[in-house]
Amino acid sequence: MSGGDGHEDRATEVFVAHRSLLFTVAYEILGSAADAEDVLQETWLRWAGVDLDAVRHHRAYLVRIATRQALTRLRTLGRRRESYVGPWLPEPLLTAPDVAEDVELADSVSMAVMLVLETLAPTERAVFVLREVFAVDYAEIARAVDKSPAAVRQIAHRARAHVAARRPRDVVSQAESRAALAAFQRAIETGDLQGLLDILAPDVVALGDGGGVRQALPRPVAGAGKVARLLAVGLRQYGDAVSVEPVQLNGYPALMLRLDGELDSVVALRIDDGLVTGLYTVRNPDKLSHVDRETALSR
């Protein structure tokens, strides 16, 4: 390692230049912004001890460190999530307009796709994210996950097929998302049960994450009729105390609900063919700390 302030200044400059990329890698592997921030800290500690002159590609080296740290943490989180109370949803992020403009990035961090990524094994998830989202070459991914390039190609193929079978059928345009969200918002604000039934797909699934701290759906609820009645009853219970605000979450239009002016929950939608097929409500306060300010994401 080179010594002195010069090394630290240079290391800091390179790290800061890649910070939002590294956060995005860690977040997509982990589904948790808080844990992604911890991975960034660990990545910095290791990066600060590296001889920069011996590193040919700073971006690749930093991504490799972050991936290894995220994988270690993901394996720990898997055990922790087994004891989680109720359904587990990814931690939502308030995202800037530039994320929505990058169609592939927005799709990869959408709540719908992040939930699909949850069904992959840790190494499969890391390989899929690095290859499909960040276009990292197989040799570099192999170094990050301690596998041979041939094994990584097989893992990537398997993960790609797994995700393709479960993700939304098409990448949804921002205009289509906004239209569906506006119809959904109008229906819940006016208590229009028929309006809800019109925008919900017959096989819609609603998931709620309260983390055992806030009341939420203890298990998934399926079917337009059941979900519409559930929403109508829930909103009627709170009456005028609820205010609904459209926001940009995880690259797509979503809703923020306040109760007597205090943030209560966020609602993200999965849209297929213009209808809501997934309804994801996060109420766990520990997961709402990244919706009060925009988070920078990049590829």
Give the single-character DSSP code of 60: H
User: Residue 66 burial (CB < 10 Å; 0-12/13-18/19+)?
Assistant: buried
Q: What is the pLDDT of residues 46-101, one digit of tens each?
A: 999 998 888 989 999 999 999 999 999 998 887 777 888 889 999 999 999 899 99
Cα–chain center distance at 136: 20
Q: What is the pLDDT of residues 225-281, one digit of tens each?
A: 999 999 888 777 777 788 999 999 999 999 999 999 999 999 999 999 899 999 999
Separation CA 229–CA 219 (nearest Å): 16
**Half-sphere exposure (Cβ direction) of 45: Cα atoms closer than 13 Å:** 7
Give the single-character DSSP code of 218: S
Cα–chain center distance at 195: 29
Question: Which residues are paired to 94 by β-bridges?
Answer: 249, 294
Separation CA 39–CA 250 (nearest Å): 19
Give the single-character DSSP code of 283: -
Contact between 108 and 133 (Cβ < 8 Å): yes
**What pLDDT band is residue 4 in, cutting at 50, 70 and 90?**
low
Separation CA 202–CA 195 (nearest Å): 13
For residue 121, count other CB atoms closer than 10 A to its CB: 15
Contact between 130 and 25 (Cβ < 8 Å): yes
- CA 34 vs CA 73, 120, 127: distances in Å: 12, 20, 22
What's the predicted TM-score (pTM) here?
0.93
pLDDT at 151 over 50: yes
Helix, strand counts (H, E) of the chain: 13, 8
Separation CA 280–CA 285 (nearest Å): 15
Q: Nearest-CA neighbor of 267 among 190, 199, 209?
A: 209
Q: What is the pLDDT of residues 188-215, one digit of tens each?
A: 888 888 999 999 999 999 999 999 999 9
**What pLDDT band is residue 180 in, cutting at 50, 70 and 90?**
very high
Separation CA 144–CA 60 (nearest Å): 9
Lookup: tokens for 165: 């079978």
Contact between 23 and 124 (Cβ < 8 Å): no
